[in-house]
Structure 1
């Protein structure tokens, strides 16, 4: 594992949104923790409190909750350079109702809530980064809520593959179907229809 390369990946991710000085980078690096997960390992389990922000350096993760019928419902998918978390649990410090699990062997960089609060004071640019990130997450959540209630399944699928290019091949069909709120069989039909429409 090339620790320097992994850390520089996160630093470049920050720099895409906010400027950082060399001293800032030193402060950030000192507060990072690297987590290695094997496929199927859990990053977070239902009932645990999420106490860190987590950046995917390598691999992929998915988040899901189990409904009253025992059905697994996928709520988030994440690949390299994405953040994955239960923000409700993180912000409220209440137990999570979600599981976050590795879909592949995965390397995570995480910053504990305590360390992040320190960084907000030491490196104000990080506070600005998270202000913008959380705004974006809220907009995405609103769009997804709107889409689920008012948009047909084919449009949902087309929006998914155009917005998240190359992600479909990384996850099993049942996860994609669950994320879109449809059956695996219907996903297969929509995929064939889409390929036919774009060919």
Structure 2
């Protein structure tokens, strides 16, 4: 069960995990299954775990005063999910994170973070992950504020084509910041090309 995480860390670090590092990960990582639409985190709760997705998909979103959902992140196998601000700063989350499919995760409790942070390969992986997250967030903001709906869809289809297969149209539309009708029109135009 830990193998996908071991492989993930070893691919993102120059230093590979030792036998004792793997034993520590086995000790601290917590396996959990979520049913579709079950919450990993709810708005107002403090995020106590970062979760590595073994199987399934999650969405991270906020709900405005009119009840509209605004998707901040979509995550699939081999990705980490959690509210980083809430986790690292111990503040209530402004997001919900739920399983969009039957989902299995390995959770890293915040209480165990100091122990795993001493693992050189984990520390390298975390630095790489933080860099990639920062770059992806910058790109997403740039695309959101400067590209047309059509260009945003093209960028998503090129960068994360699996999202178009795994998530329904209304979720993808919210992630792109457009209506599902606009997304439907864009997809129809793309199919005709």
The bucket for the TM-score relative to the shorter chain is over 0.9
* Residue aligning to 2:114: 117
Q: What is the count of residue pairs matched by the alignment? A: 191
Find the counterpart in structure 1 of residue 149 from structure 2. Answer: 153
Report SS of the residue matched to 1:43. strand
Which of 158, 162, 169 aligns to 1:162? It is 158
Determine the C-alpha separation between the residues in 1 that align with 2:153 and 2:99. Answer: 23
Moved more, 178-187 or 123-132: 123-132
Alignment match, 1:55: 52
1:49-88 superposed matches below 5 A: 49-88=46-85
2:99 maps to which residue?
A: 102
Match of residue 140 from structure 2: 144
SS in 2 for 1:30: helix
- Cα displacement (A) at 1:69: 2.2
Q: Which runs of 5+ in 2 are unaligned?
A: none
TM-score normalised to the size of structure 2? Answer: 0.95
Tell me if 1:41 matches 2:38.
yes
Give the match's secondary structure for 1:135.
helix
Aligned partners of 1:166 and 1:154: how far apart in 2? 18
State the TM-score, normalizing by the size of structure 1.
0.92
Q: Which residue of 2 aligns with 1:190?
A: 186
In structure 2, C-alpha distance between the alignment counterparts of 1:94 and 1:133, rounded to whole Å: 22
Is 2:18 the counterpart of 1:21?
yes
The offset of 1:129, in angstroms, is: 1.0
Cα deviation for residue 174 of structure 1 reads 0.6
| Aligned: 1:126 with 2:125 | no
Q: CA RMSD in A?
A: 1.1
- How far the C-alpha of 1:88 sits from its partner, in A, is 1.2
Give the Cα–Cα distance (whole angstroms) in 2 for the partners of residues 24 and 118 of structure 1: 10
Give the ranges of 4+ consecutive aligned residues of structure 1 lying more than 4 Å apart after TM superposition: none
- Whether the 8 Å CA contact 1:39–1:105 is kept in 2: the answer is yes
Q: Which residue of 2 aligns with 1:3?
A: none
